[in-house]
Amino acid sequence: MNTGCVFCKISEDKIQARKIYQSNDIIAFHDINPQAPVHVLVIPRRHIRNLLEADEQDASLIGRMLIVTTQIAKQLNIAESGYRIVINTNRNAGQSIDHLHIHLLGGRAMQWPPG
């Protein structure tokens, strides 16, 4: 755990969040500042700063995070209508929390370009 990290604190139930999925290494919760009718964040419990800090040994974990994200899209009934997954790394992308997280957005038509 990174003691200064809000997502680590959510993982350890030291900060409240509207969690909708938990396993031994992945959790998901509703974004506190949603950009669509459905906006969920999927994160690893382990403090990985972003994709640049992940390596080939993390491929299975990251792949399972995407499978979980799709399972949540199905659960929240946005899978068939459509959903966008976004992962931001570093400043130009707007990464605001230095703990790897997948954005899941749906429930409305998304625009192009994607920001």
Binding site for its own copies (CB under 8 A): 35-36, 51-52, 54-56, 58-64, 66-67, 69-70, 73-74, 78-95, 103, 105-115
Sign of CA dihedral 15, 50, 88, 102: negative
Residue written as tokens 């964040």? Answer: 41
Q: How far apart are the first and last CA of the chain?
A: 31
- Rank residues 3 and 109 by Cβ distance to its own copies and give the closer one: 109
CB of 8 to its own copies, least distance (A): 21
- Rank residues 6 and 66 by Cβ distance to its own copies and give the closer one: 66
- Rank residues 9 and 79 by Cβ distance to its own copies and give the closer one: 79
Is 17 in contact with 10 (CB distance < 8 Å)? yes
CB of 108 to its own copies, least distance (A): 7
In this structure, the strands spanning 26-30 and 19-22 are: antiparallel
Catalytic annotation present for 30: no
CB of 21 to its own copies, least distance (A): 15
Q: Cβ of 82: how many Cβ atoms within 10 Å? A: 13
Q: So which residues are the catalytic ones?
A: 101
